Amino acid sequence: MNVLLSNDDGVNAPGIRSLFKIIGPLHETTMIAPLEERSTTGHSLSLDKPLRLERLEDNVYGCTGFPGDCVLMGVGHVLKSRRPDVVVSGINRGANLGQDLYYSGTVAAAREAVFHRVPGIAVSLVLHQLTDIHHYDSAALFISRALEAKIHLCCPPMTVININVPNLPLEKIKGCKLTEVGFRRYSEEIHARMDARAREYYWIAGIYEGFDENPKSDCQAVHDGYISITPHGLIDDKSRDLTGLAAVVEKLNAQFVS
């Protein structure tokens, strides 16, 4: 299989290096990741400045852009003649649960792949403390098993697979669950401070306060010690009930002169 790896923590981050170590010997694996950390950059593309690509070692490239740029660089340039079968983004240092996936550069890289009709998988290690031992190999081994099980061929079109792995040795993880996107609660604190020239500046200082109760959510699964596998539709979900919205649109549309 032809696998493209990317992330938002940077090309030398331990998470992506763990993936490369475990998946690399099993598949044709190429890594294209940012030269510097791009966490919480969301889905950005560099349309207003040139990109530079630096070959660091065999099949490993650092890119000056964002995670989305890295995947586009892989699909449209480095791997143009041997299109990847799947893009795996991660392993992120920290959770991408609930609505956090909209801020995540890790998820954005997988999303960019899906926009180009390449299956995209985002994977994150859910940490409680940054000082804890980071069990990246648990997540990397699980992703390797998932690829062998052809997980990337089992997801509907225009759907990202977002995987969150508890920070535990693999033998202590209870299993995996198919989940839906939950909701995480944060405080709305903004800290105001003064610089040396008596000018005010601000830090966003929201604190995580827990998640909304939903037994099917990604948040609950990880809390209970399971790996969460969440298919996230990008373009349209025809199973949603939009009758109320459709009625409002019809009412508004009647006000236009034909």
pLDDT of residue 245: 65
pLDDT of residue 43: 86
Specify if 195 maps to a domain: no
Specify if 248 maps to a domain: yes
State what percent of residues in the chain have pLDDT above 90: 73
d(CA 211, CA 186): 9
Largest CA distance in the chain: 65
Specify if 175 maps to a domain: yes
- The mean pLDDT value of the chain amounts to 91
Residue 103: pLDDT over 80? yes
pLDDT of residue 258: 52
CATH number of the domain within which 41 lies: 3.40.1210.10
**Residue showing tokens 């648990």:** 138
pLDDT of residue 38: 86
Residue 249: pLDDT over 80? no
User: Which pTM value belongs to this model?
Assistant: 0.89
CA distances from 56 to 30, 94, 107, 222 (A): 12, 26, 24, 35
Specify if 69 maps to a domain: yes
Residue 256: pLDDT over 70? no
Summarised one tens digit per residue, pLDDT across range 216-227 is 999 999 999 999
Specify if 206 maps to a domain: no
Specify if 188 maps to a domain: no
Specify if 84 maps to a domain: yes
pLDDT interval class at 154 (50, 70, 90)? confident
pLDDT of residue 39: 82
Specify if 258 maps to a domain: no
**Residue showing tokens 């964002």:** 66
Domain of residue 245 covers: 2-183+213-253
Domains identified in the chain, total number: 1
The sign of the dihedral angle between the CA atoms of 112, 178, 147, 88 is positive
Which among 82, 118, 122, 120 has a CA at the least distance from the CA of 105? 122
